[in-house]
Chains A and B, each alone.
Chain A
Amino acid sequence: MKAAIIYTSITGNTEALAEEIYQGMISKGIEVDFIPVDDLDYDMLPSYDVIAIGTYTWDNGDLPMEMEDLFTAFEEMDMKHVTTGVFGTGDSFYPYYCGAVNLFRDMLFVHTNLAVTLKVELTPQVSDSKRCEKFCDRLMGQLVTA
């Protein structure tokens, strides 16, 4: 099985969350590629069984600019066989809390086998590690039963 975490981060919050998810997946014995989106080789995308996408939200609930190509790639390539999860960090004082997670969610639901989404307020807190674990379980669990 091949898994990847593809993420972008500006303050380090989403990166911290990505690392926690990475550790969670590793501890389940899964081999995971940990890829900042700027280093992504897009041709590799369809070769993964599982992809977790991590994104912060910019401005008014928008996608960060560097995630737009990834978003388009999922729409244009055949990714139906890939199990996906999307996670992100945001600030609930804004009207579209983790808006970019929602945008990915709605698209991934159509173009992939979406298993799970996860939103965290700013830097992950202690109570978030349980949710990270669930996120990993759900991402992997889906595959076992499939």
Chain B
Amino acid sequence: MVQPDQPLTKIKLLNPTYPNKSTGLINGKSSGLLNWNDIAYPQMYDLYQTLLSNFWKAQEINMQDDIKQWDYLTEIEKDVFLRINTQLASLDSLQTPTMSHVMDYVTDSSFKAIFAVISQQEAVHNESYSYILSSLVPLREQNERFDQAKDDPIVRKRNQLILDSYDAFREKPTPQRLFELAINSINLEGIYFYAGFAFFYHLARQQKMLKTSTMISYIQRDEMQHAYFISQFIRILLTENPELNTEENIQFVYTTIDKAVQNEKEWANYILKDIDGIDLEEFHGYVEYLANKRLRQIGLDNYYEERENPMAWIHVFSDEMLNETKSDFFEQKSRTYTKVSSSNGFDEL
């Protein structure tokens, strides 16, 4: 039986007498050796493969088009662009070390491997913001912008919610705090990025700064897999450790996600207020819709009013837009089905 407040011990690298297939996500018996063919949750291998197939790097994206367009942005657009860039970079800066820190306390080697990949991807995201900045403004201004992000009271307030939880786990890594860290990780990856995403996709809708938004699209694609993984991690953690699956903790999820929702609305009101074409009321609805999705991913109920996606244009670019080709089941055999719709005599609900 797990004591929610009993600190987890840092795992030894190798425990040769234990099995390779871990007996638990935390406090499990595990040799430390990873054989992907013998793991407790085989679906984690698919997830790992998907994460790897998303691999990308900033340097592959040529910024020339954006460099030319930059001069044509309004002063307000430039200002918001740089503020959001450094603010997102500061979120990713927290995530890279935290994901690797968690690895020391998770006993299942397959989960450790996935945390390692997530940590690597967060490092790539971080670099991509630097790469964008280096294309557009001199180092002096980059540093000023980072200082601005560090000093901004709204950014600090947002980050504090996450920081408190991540630091608490650092100080005393208990199962309870690991659970809380995971929920805040969903806040960071699954909610806090979206005002920023909205801004960059909004520029993309006007054919502006498309190279930047290509990177943003890659980042969103990664973050969605991360939030999905963490939601699976939470579900398995609660299932394996019923002591954590309490009324209080379920309430904690609703309360904490609601804090992030309110912070994200506040941030949007502040950062997007002068951007024409983004309706802030609509964005508030969007954040609630988003939070409902995150809650359902964890297996909980909607907390906010049930609604359709009010800003459906905030989404990952398609392969066609990114000039990538699909290589799958449908490419191997020459299948040529015509796209059909309800006008062909069936119903699409």
List residues of chain A with CB under 8 Å of any chain B CB: 10-12, 58-60, 62-63, 68, 71, 91-96, 102-103, 105-107, 109-110, 114-119, 121-123, 125-127, 131, 134-135, 138
Q: Is the CB of A68 within 8 A of B312?
A: no
Chain B residue with Cβ nearest A13 = B296
* B349 and A122 within 8 A (CB): no
Q: How far is the CA of A125 from the CA of B304 in the complex (A)?
A: 12
For residue B250, CB closer than 8 A to chain A, the reply is no
- B:284-327 near A, CB below 8 Å: 293, 296-297, 299, 302, 306, 309, 312, 314-319, 321, 326
Residues of B within 8 A of A102 (CB): 339
Q: At the interface, yes or no: B144 with Cβ under 8 Å from chain A?
A: no
Given A96-B318, A117-B346; A125-B302 close (CB under 8 Å): yes
Using known A-B contacts A59-B53, A93-B314, A126-B306, determine if residue A119 contacts B337 with beta carbons closer than 8 Å: no
Partner of A110, one of B302, B321, B337, B347: B337
B306–A106 CB distance below 8 A: no
- The reply to whether B329 and A119 form a contact with Cβ atoms under 8 Å apart is no
A93 touches B339 (CB 8 A): no
* Interface pair B224/A62, CB less than 8 Å apart: no
A116 near B346 with CB under 8 A, answer yes
Please pick, from A68, A92, A116, the residue contacting B347 in the complex, using a CB distance under 8 A.
A116
Q: For chain B, what secondary structure do more than half of its interface residues adopt (helix, strand, loop), or is it mixed?
A: loop
Q: In whole Å, how far is A104's beta carbon from the nearest beta carbon of chain B?
A: 10
**Which residues from B are CB-within-8-Å of A62?**
326, 328-329
Checking A91, A110, A116, A118 against B224 with a beta-carbon cut-off of 8 angstroms, the contacting residue is A91
B43 at the interface (CB under 8 A from A): yes
In the complex with contacts A93-B314, A94-B315, A115-B340 CB distance below 8 A: no
CB distance A109 to B340 under 8 Å?
yes
Q: Are B50 and A92 in contact (CB under 8 A)?
A: no
Contact check: which of A114, A122, A134 meets B296 at CB < 8 Å? A122
Task: Tell me the chain B residues, 193-250 only, with Cβ under 8 Å from chain A.
Answer: 220, 224, 232
B264 to chain A, nearest CB (A): 16
The answer to whether A127 touches B326 (Cβ under 8 A) is: no
A63 to B328, CA, bound (A): 9
Q: A103-B330, A109-B340, A134-B349 are in contact. List 18 more A-B contacts (CB 8 A).
A: A11-B232, A58-B46, A59-B53, A93-B315, A94-B224, A106-B338, A106-B340, A114-B340, A115-B347, A116-B348, A116-B349, A117-B346, A117-B347, A119-B349, A121-B309, A122-B297, A125-B296, A125-B306
Q: Is B251 part of the contact surface with A, judged by Cβ < 8 Å?
A: no
B337 engages A107 (CB within 8 Å): yes
A residues near B329, Cβ cutoff 8 Å: 62-63, 68, 71
- The CA of A11 and the CA of B349, in the complex, are separated in Å by 22
Query: Can you give 18 A-B contacts (C-beta < 8 A)?
Result: A60-B326, A60-B328, A63-B328, A63-B329, A68-B329, A91-B224, A96-B318, A106-B337, A106-B338, A107-B335, A107-B337, A109-B337, A114-B340, A116-B347, A117-B349, A123-B297, A126-B306, A134-B347
Measured between alpha carbons, how far is A20 from B203 in the docked complex, in Å?
A: 41
B37 located at the interface, meaning its Cβ lies under 8 Å from any Cβ of chain A in the complex: no
For the complex, give the distance between the alpha carbons of A95 and B238 in Å. Answer: 32
Question: Does B344 belong to the interface (CB within 8 Å)?
Answer: yes
Select one of A12, A93, A106, A138 contacting B220, CB under 8 A: A93
Beta-carbon contact of A109 and B346 below 8 Å:
yes
Please give, as numbers and ranges, the residues of chain A lying within 8 Å of B232 by CB-CB distance. Answer: 11
Report, nearest first, the 4 A-B pairs whose CB atoms are least far apart: A95-B318, A106-B337, A123-B296, A118-B349
The residue in B232, B314, B316, B346 that gathers the most chain A C-beta atoms within 10 A of its C-beta is B346
> With contacts A59-B53, A102-B339, A115-B347 known, is A95 near B317, CB below 8 A?
yes
Contacts of B346 in A (CB 8 A): 109, 114-117, 138
* CB contact list, B11-63 vs A, under 8 A: 43, 46, 50, 53
Look across to chain A and name the residue whose beta carbon is closest to the beta carbon of B225: A59
What B residues does A103 contact at CB under 8 A?
Answer: 330, 337
Q: Once the chains are docked, how many angstroms separate the CA of A94 from the CA of B224?
A: 9
CA A92 to CA B224, docked complex, whole Å: 11
CB of B52, distance to nearest CB on chain A (Å): 11
B312 touching A92, Cβ below 8 Å = yes
List B contacts of A126 (CB < 8 A).
306
Closest to A93 in B: B315
Residues of B within 8 Å of A135, CB to CB, are 349
